[in-house]
Amino acid sequence: MQHDVTKIRIFGRFIYPVSFAEESALFTYILRRLALMVFVLWGVTLAAFLISHTLPADPAAAILGNNAREEQIIEFRAKNGLDQPLPVQYGRYMLQLVQGDLGKSLRTQNPITEDLKQFFPATLELTLIAILFSLLFGLPLGIISALNRGRWPDLLARIFALLGGATPVYWLAILALSIFHEKLGWLPGPGRLDSYSLPPPVKTGLMTIDTLLVGDKQTFVDALRHLILPGIVLGAYSAALLTRMTRSALLEVLGQDYIRTAKAKGLSSRRVLNKHAMRNAALPILTVLGALFGNLLTGAVLTETIFSWPGIGGYATTSAITLDFPAVMGVTLIVGMAYSVVNLLVDLAYALFDPRISYS
């Protein structure tokens, strides 16, 4: 009996056979995960709403200030629906949410969607640079450490992993600015652009992408240079963690019987590493990368503050301090969605490295 199969081209080579039944199972799995994501996000909104609205504080008084009159506070509450019972407030919020409306910020009086469009791309761009730094530095360092176990490269890698995981972010940020900006002048200071650079028209919100889209190479270089210091500072802990995880996963794989068999067959060390060891050590590394992306996305508050980076971290902090409940809910929702999407992509990527994984 002949089965229909299809080929998938990945990274320049074909992976096959993949039956249409397996494709259907994969499609069903994605739909099931997307449906589950809806319930996860609903749980996120419910938890964030209950936590924020049970605080013993008045958002009207926090936003209007101590000099606000009682009539102003009452009017503000009525205007923003804060005088209604909590179930009514949550029901109204969910009704707006299913229509794609995140509500209006109590502090800025702007639609939260517009605020997130302004602040989220800056954090996303910084997070991507931090992840890129972690991959380019932490992954090779972990491989070198595992291949030279017990020798001086391994010792240096473990020292870096220890220091990178133990160094406070704020101290590393201040130190980096003092050395590379103030004393040496190699890299620019805080902000996304120099004061004399004009920002490009907003298309994606990612400064480097927008400058390339309009062909402004000079501003692109300026934006890229401003990303280096905060990206390294934000990604230092992730690079250290990735170094430790890569070393641990690779050492476990290198001790397996099939690795010794491959070496006994005369395969080169590079072929054994690339074809056998790294593919089997990739799953825990992928898992850590997915978690790191979410952590970097939400943990950039100190880095953004020190580097005057107009990202979602500062927006969320200010919203929490002023008890801007709708803004806090919007930030929580977008971060929860990012976590869910990244986890889904990581789960789907497992099959690229381990063909035994089935989504049926």
Mean pLDDT of the chain: 81
In whole angstroms, give the CA distance from residue 295 to residue 240.
Answer: 14
Contact present, 169 and 240 (Cβ < 8 Å): no
Least confident piece of the model among 47-61, 138-152, 195-209? 47-61
Per-residue tokens: 73: 């506070």
188 and 272 share one domain: yes
176 and 119 share one domain: yes
Closest CA to 243 of 151, 130, 145: 145
Confirm whether 184 is domain-assigned. yes
Identify the pLDDT of residue 229.
Answer: 92
Closest CA to 219 of 207, 229, 228, 231: 207
Q: pLDDT band for 7, please (50, 70, 90 cuts).
A: very low
For 249-261, write each residue's pLDDT tens digit.
888 888 778 788 8
For 230-279, write each residue's pLDDT tens digit.
999 988 888 998 999 889 888 888 877 878 887 787 777 778 787 778 87
211 and 338 share one domain: yes
80 and 150 share one domain: no
Per-residue tokens: 189: 């200071």
Reply yes or no on whether the pLDDT at 16 is more than 50: no
Confirm whether 2 is domain-assigned. no
End position of a domain, from candidates 76, 98, 120: 98
Per-residue tokens: 39: 């319930």
Reply yes or no on whether the pLDDT at 20 is more than 60: no
How many domains in the chain? 2
Identify the pLDDT of residue 13.
Answer: 42
Q: Provide the 8-state DSSP code for 322.
A: T
207 and 75 share one domain: no
| Greater pLDDT, 338 or 132 | 132
175 and 283 share one domain: yes
155 and 93 share one domain: no
Least confident piece of the model among 14-23, 108-117, 122-131, 186-195? 14-23
CATH code, domain carrying 261:
1.10.3720.10
From residue 96, give the alpha-carbon distance in Å to each of 100, 103, 112, 326: 7, 7, 12, 11
For 134-151, write each residue's pLDDT tens digit.
999 989 999 999 888 888
137 and 87 share one domain: no
Q: Which residues of 6-16 are buried (b: 16+ CB within 10 A; e: fewer)?
A: eeeeeeeeeee
Per-residue tokens: 311: 């990202």
Confirm whether 1 is domain-assigned. no
Which residue shows structure tokens 């402004």?
Answer: 216
Q: Which domain holds residue 46?
A: 21-98
End position of a domain, from candidates 63, 98, 133: 98
264 and 174 share one domain: yes
87 and 118 share one domain: no
Confirm whether 254 is domain-assigned. yes
Q: What is the largest CA-CA distance in the chain?
A: 85
Reply yes or no on whether the pLDDT at 292 is more than 80: yes
Closest CA to 129 of 238, 283, 241, 278: 238
Identify the pLDDT of residue 357.
Answer: 67
Per-residue tokens: 137: 């530095």
Q: pLDDT band for 345, please (50, 70, 90 cuts).
A: confident
Least confident piece of the model among 61-65, 214-218, 244-248, 288-292? 61-65
Q: Which residues contact 112 (CB under 8 A, 6 or more apart)?
A: 102, 103, 104, 105, 326, 327, 330
End position of a domain, from candidates 48, 68, 98: 98
133 and 277 share one domain: yes
Confirm whether 5 is domain-assigned. no
Confirm whether 16 is domain-assigned. no
Reply yes or no on whether the pLDDT at 43 is more than 50: yes
3-state secondary structure of 265: coil
Q: pLDDT band for 21, please (50, 70, 90 cuts).
A: low
Confirm whether 14 is domain-assigned. no
Confirm whether 311 is domain-assigned. yes
Identify the pLDDT of residue 355.
Answer: 65
Contact present, 132 and 230 (Cβ < 8 Å): no
340 and 311 share one domain: yes
Per-residue tokens: 246: 């890569």
* Cα dihedral 323→327→333→338 (10° resolution): -110
**Helical spans, DSSP H, in the chain:** 20-53, 59-64, 70-79, 86-98, 112-133, 139-147, 152-166, 169-176, 207-213, 217-254, 257-264, 269-271, 278-298, 301-306, 312-321, 325-353
